[in-house]
Each structure stands twice: as structure tokens, then as C-alpha cells.
Amino acid sequence: MIIAVDGPTASGKGTIARALADHFGLPVLDTGMLYRAVGYQTQLNHGDPDDSADALAACDFPDGLLHDPALRYESTGSLASRVSIHPAVRKALFQRQVDFANQPGGAVLDGRDIGTVIAPHADAKLFVTASPEERARRRHAEMLGRGVDVTYDAVLADIHARDARDTGRADAPLLRATDALLLDNTTLDRDAAVAAAIAFVVGRVGKPG
């Protein structure tokens, strides 16, 4: 069984993907970490994330980089959004994601183009979202909890900028698949959002919950 979980930044899609993986006993891949690794490697290479050649060169990052805590930094997320607009980068990471999705037994993948590009044949697809203001509020609280000194307005501006890049890029833009459940969790807490996601997948694939 393949489950695709797409959505914009800070929507909670990663939390839902991990919960689905735990519930159904499937491996999970946060595909955004691949792009974060490319963005961060570009920076380590002293390259320009807006330059296609520099970003492509960074796709040859060492596997160990995926475990670097720096990939979780907000600044790295912005780098990931910038390198992900390059078709050459998306092509370089495409097969790695496809192979993960098609492994025996299935998998859960979360990202921005899983249900439309990476695994259009997924058994269940979800598009997880929330209002930009709510996503900024959650991200701001998370960052303050980590001791990051940042204003809510700055986080909201970054959310809007990343949404614009993700939806506006020519290659594999952030887009809800026509057969994906729209899960808007603006007013839902974690447990309610996870329960809704599990119920949808159970109903779609007929697996016992």
C-alpha cells in the first residue's frame, strides 16, 4: 500500500505521514529532507541556491547529511524551497523517491508532488493544509520553543514566499491531486487530524484500522 501525503510548508503533513506509517506499519520518507539536504549542501559548497548548476552539483550530497540537525533549521527550509524550483534538481531526486514508494509492501511519502508526480498510482492520497496564518502561528511557536528569536510577521512572510515558490514553479508545482482528500486542519488538533487521515485511508483501501 502506497500513501501519498502532500501539502504546503508547516501544514502538519509530516506529523500525519509519520502517524499513518506507524498505524499501518509502513516505512516513511519525508521527501522534503532530500531537498533540504540539497539546499544545505549548496550552502556548504558556497554555491547559489537560485543557480541551477550550483543546486544540481549539491544533489551529490553524502547520505550522512540527511541526519544533520541543521536540516531542521528554518533557514535550511528556505534553501530547500529555492533549490526545488530547478527541474534538474527534481529530476536528480526523482528516482530515489520513486524507488522508495515502490518498495515491496508499500510506503508513506510526504512532500509536495507525491500524489501528482512521484506516486500518481498511490492507493490513498491526502492533501494536508491550513491557513497561512495558522501555519505561521504554529511554526512561530515551534521556533520560539527552540530558542530562535524571530517575529510572527517574519515567519508569516516566509510562509507566503515559500507557498508562492512551491505553487508557481513550472516543474511539479505544489498541487492537490484530483483524487486526494483535502484535509484542512486549521481548526483541528493533532489527534483529530490524524484520526481523519487514518479513517480516510481505511475507507479508501479497505484495510482494518
Q: Give backbone dihedrals phi and psi of 34, rounded to 5 degrees, phi first.
A: -65, -45
Judge: domain 2-205, CATH 3.40.50.300.
yes
Q: Which residue ranges make up each domain of the chain?
A: 2-205
Kindly report, residue by residue over 109-167, the tens digit of the pLDDT: 999 999 999 999 999 999 999 999 999 999 999 989 988 899 999 999 999 998 998 89
Kindly report, residue by residue over 2-54, the tens digit of the pLDDT: 999 999 999 999 999 999 999 999 999 999 899 999 999 999 999 999 999 99
Using a CB cutoff of 8 Å and minimum separation of 24, what contacts does 194-200 make? 194/15, 194/16, 194/19, 194/20, 197/5, 197/16, 197/19, 197/20, 197/126, 197/128, 198/19, 198/20, 198/23, 200/124, 200/126
Mean pLDDT of 164-182: 90
Looking only at the bridges linking them, the beta strands covering 28-30 and 107-111 are parallel
Kindly report, residue by residue over 63-74, the tens digit of the pLDDT: 899 999 999 888
The whole-number pLDDT of residue 209 equals 45
Higher pLDDT, 172 or 190: 190
Calpha distance 37→80 (Å, rounded): 8
The whole-number pLDDT of residue 74 equals 80
